[in-house]
Structure 1
Amino acid sequence: MTATIRDIAKAAGVSVATVSKVLNDYSTVSRATREKVLALVAEMQFRPNEAARSLVGRRSMTIGILLTSGLSNPFFVHLLGGIDEALKERGYDLIYLAQLSAHPEYNFVQHCRSRNVEGVLAFGFQLGELDADKLVASGIPTLFIDLNLTGKRAGYISSDNKEAVEGTVRYLHGLGHRRIANIAGLPGSYVGERRLAGFHEAMDAAGLTVHPENIVVGDFTQETGYRGMRQLLALPQRPTAVVCGSDKSAIGALQAAREAGVAVPDELSIVGFDDIDEARVVHPSLTTVRQDMPALGRRAIELLDRLIVEPEAPPPAVILPTQLIVRETTGPAPREH
């Protein structure tokens, strides 16, 4: 039986796209991978059909990235590190798909096709910021990060945001905290809503009342964390612990507590989310939920690559685990006077 390009890819432990790159002499494949693939081509006596090779040669080997938020967010920086690593392994190029949505005739699907991208990686936005249903229906292989959309050739990946916050509340409750507040993430965003849902469910499971004044709307930034904490500290009965939507928000909250003369963690415990580099170097160091951002990026490209090379593959819906990292901003609830 004649070996196929998929047989070569499976034996080499690489994608079909990478084998195609080697056969078409692309320079973006590592030397070790190239030598491994070529050795298997010889060993398995693979003879690529010239017509098929000409079709392979017309592949753009390009993935478009759609990011509506700025790249200054540390989450995106670490995420892109993993994306870049996985792209190099598979021989893809990456282009940034700038949105021109202010233009009355703008059509994002047509924009993707005009740039000849083989797939789209979309993240950092709310559902209302993009006509996502049309993108899913277009058949363009699409992988959403932190937005739970699926279609025939579209899927998503995210961390387990809801369970992460539930675990955080259980941890604080175990330390004796009863007045636990939340500086929430961006309303309407998938991760913001999942984290807020986790907070409510864990508080309910612990038999704790969620007072409306203890939920502050934020947007994951340091500024809203700072303002939110000032608002919480002004309450007649302030909380003894605060769960923040991000590390940036938690750092802002920590700054507000310091300015108000509130000792962390003796009088107030603070928990963040992400485990960015700053979480380890602020004083006191930040207790936070760690999500493996580079791994999230690498896995996203793996899933998108499969959507591209295997049109009948089932749409992925992948949730990655998180880990609570306990540092210096959390401690036992203060004794009531």
Structure 2
Amino acid sequence: MATNIRDVAKAAGVSVATVSKVLNGYTTVNENTKERVLQFVKEMQFRPNSAARSLVGRRSMTIGIFLTTGLAHPFFTQILAGMEQALKSKGYDLIYLAQLSWNREYSFVRHCQSRNVEGVVVFGFQHEDMNFDELVESDIPTLFIDLDVHEGRAGYISSDNQAGTQQAVSYLAGLNHRRISFLSGNKDSYVSRHRQKGYRAGLTAAGLPYREEYVAEGDFTRETGYVAMGKLLALTERPTAVVCCSDMSAVGAMEAIHDAGLSVPEDISVIGFDDIEIARYVSPALTTVRQDMITIGRRSIELLDDLILDKKLPPPEAIVPTELIVRGSCGPANG
């Protein structure tokens, strides 16, 4: 492992100034020399501090984050904690690229350029919300969270939404549930689509039929979870269990079940997805699929740093495993 820039220069057979120019993005360095230096940087796990990396004044050592959901989003503090782990080790600063009015005419590229960021993390958007073409086609290294963009210099990271939901369905099938419903999120969102794939895969693995009427659409919120669960409860043959696309929609579903005079889990078992703090404190405590948001935050910065350092690197597609957390909201099928 290299401890300073001189170690890399000696190993690569070049001057310290050449290594500094490569790290700072100078285009005057011979391409073969640049590739050799970057290879030794990677092999020797060299992570220069911000002062060294900006030695010739060409690097800002700043990463931006676009976040539609705002700082109050229940995941953001965990994602930020994970980001901080990597930011400290790599010498970057992070700035929040706020915008009062997002729309499809908004220019991510101009905002990035105006703040002189070296790369950007995008979180909380859907494909239909914004026009990402300009950003993806630009030379700005970009890492999307929960949005499957992987072309040019833009990649993504997400939880294993499909496997997590499939595990939830399998767990309910193991409790002898045969009428398992699904409360989706926004139907066109990357997350909701993959969780619904997991729901169908779980049914298939358990030898259970897919029933269209057992799928109710929400948008990840408590309010739509309540409404969607009401529709499922109105079915002639109501489900005995429901897998929800988020913990908040699961909380809404549980309220609808209670308001209908039924009990969780005696009448209907409920599983959420996320494992936000409230999941432990509702009654009964919510069984849920936990996302490792600390790892997602940390890896998002690590992957972005790789893209910043190596312009030829293919865009990453990183999937982080989930974990089923069993609590009190599930029980054996009753009927």
Fold shared by both chains (TM-score > 0.5): yes
The question of whether the paired residues in 1 share the 8 Å contact of 2:104 and 2:129 is answered with no
Q: Alpha-carbon deviation of 1:201?
A: 2.5
Distance 2:217 2:333 in 1: 24
Q: Which residue of 2 aligns with 1:248?
A: 248
Deviations 1:181-207 (A, max 9, x none): 111012211111110111122223333
Q: Percent identity?
A: 54
Cα 1:140–1:104 shift into 2, 3 Å:
closer
The question of whether the paired residues in 2 share the 8 Å contact of 1:100 and 1:106 is answered with no
Q: Which residue of 1 aligns with 2:164?
A: 164
Q: Trace 1:8-19 onto structure 2 (pairs within 5 A).
A: 11=44, 13=45, 15=47, 19=48
Cα 1:106–1:242 shift into 2, 3 Å:
closer
Q: Trace 1:148-163 onto structure 2 (pairs within 5 A).
A: 148-163=148-163
The question of whether the paired residues in 2 share the 8 Å contact of 1:224 and 1:249 is answered with yes
Cα 1:103–1:185 shift into 2, 3 Å:
closer
Amino acid at match of 1:219: D
Q: Does 1:53 align with 2:82?
A: no
Amino acid at match of 2:114: S
Q: Alpha-carbon deviation of 1:123?
A: 1.3
Q: Alpha-carbon deviation of 1:122?
A: 0.6
User: Could you say what secondary structure the match of 2:79 adopts?
Assistant: helix
Q: Which residue of 2 aligns with 1:92?
A: 92
Q: Which residue of 2 aligns with 1:308?
A: 308
Deviations 1:96-139 (A, max 9, x none): 22347668974321221122110010111101222222211102
Q: Alpha-carbon deviation of 1:60?
A: 0.9
Distance 1:316 1:184 in 2: 27
Q: Which residue of 1 aligns with 2:134?
A: 134
Cα 1:237–1:295 shift into 2, 3 Å:
same
Amino acid at match of 1:2: K
Q: Does 1:218 align with 2:226?
A: no
Q: Which residue of 2 aligns with 1:2?
A: 10
Q: Does 1:147 align with 2:155?
A: no
Cα 1:299–1:243 shift into 2, 3 Å:
same
- Unaligned 5+ runs, structure 2: 1-8, 20-37
Q: Which residue of 2 aligns with 1:197?
A: 197
Q: Trace 1:164-313 onto structure 2 (pairs within 5 A).
A: 164-313=164-313
The question of whether the paired residues in 1 share the 8 Å contact of 2:225 and 2:251 is answered with yes
Distance 1:104 1:235 in 2: 39
Distance 1:272 1:297 in 2: 21
User: Could you say what secondary structure the match of 1:319 adopts?
Assistant: strand
| Number of residue equivalences | 302
Cα 1:73–1:100 shift into 2, 3 Å:
closer
The question of whether the paired residues in 1 share the 8 Å contact of 2:107 and 2:134 is answered with no
Distance 2:320 2:107 in 1: 32
Distance 2:102 2:159 in 1: 32
Cα 1:294–1:170 shift into 2, 3 Å:
same
Cα 1:161–1:22 shift into 2, 3 Å:
same
The question of whether the paired residues in 2 share the 8 Å contact of 1:271 and 1:288 is answered with yes
Q: Which residue of 2 aligns with 1:83?
A: 83
Distance 2:42 2:312 in 1: 18
User: Could you say what secondary structure the match of 2:75 adopts?
Assistant: helix
Deviations 1:60-95 (A, max 9, x none): 111111112233331233222212332233221222
Distance 1:79 1:122 in 2: 12
Cα 1:235–1:71 shift into 2, 3 Å:
farther
User: Could you say what secondary structure the match of 2:70 adopts?
Assistant: coil
The question of whether the paired residues in 1 share the 8 Å contact of 2:181 and 2:239 is answered with yes
Amino acid at match of 2:10: T
The question of whether the paired residues in 1 share the 8 Å contact of 2:142 and 2:155 is answered with yes
The question of whether the paired residues in 2 share the 8 Å contact of 1:99 and 1:108 is answered with no
Q: Which residue of 1 aligns with 2:52?
A: 23
Distance 2:160 2:317 in 1: 12
Distance 1:80 1:326 in 2: 26
Deviations 1:182-233 (A, max 9, x none): 1101221111111011112222333323332221111111111112222222
User: Could you say what secondary structure the match of 2:242 adopts?
Assistant: strand
Q: Alpha-carbon deviation of 1:157?
A: 0.7
The question of whether the paired residues in 2 share the 8 Å contact of 1:287 and 1:326 is answered with yes
> What is the root-mean-square deviation of aligned Cα atoms in Å?
2.3
Amino acid at match of 2:276: I
Distance 1:183 1:128 in 2: 21
Distance 1:138 1:292 in 2: 30
Amino acid at match of 2:97: L
Amino acid at match of 1:316: P
The question of whether the paired residues in 2 share the 8 Å contact of 1:175 and 1:333 is answered with yes
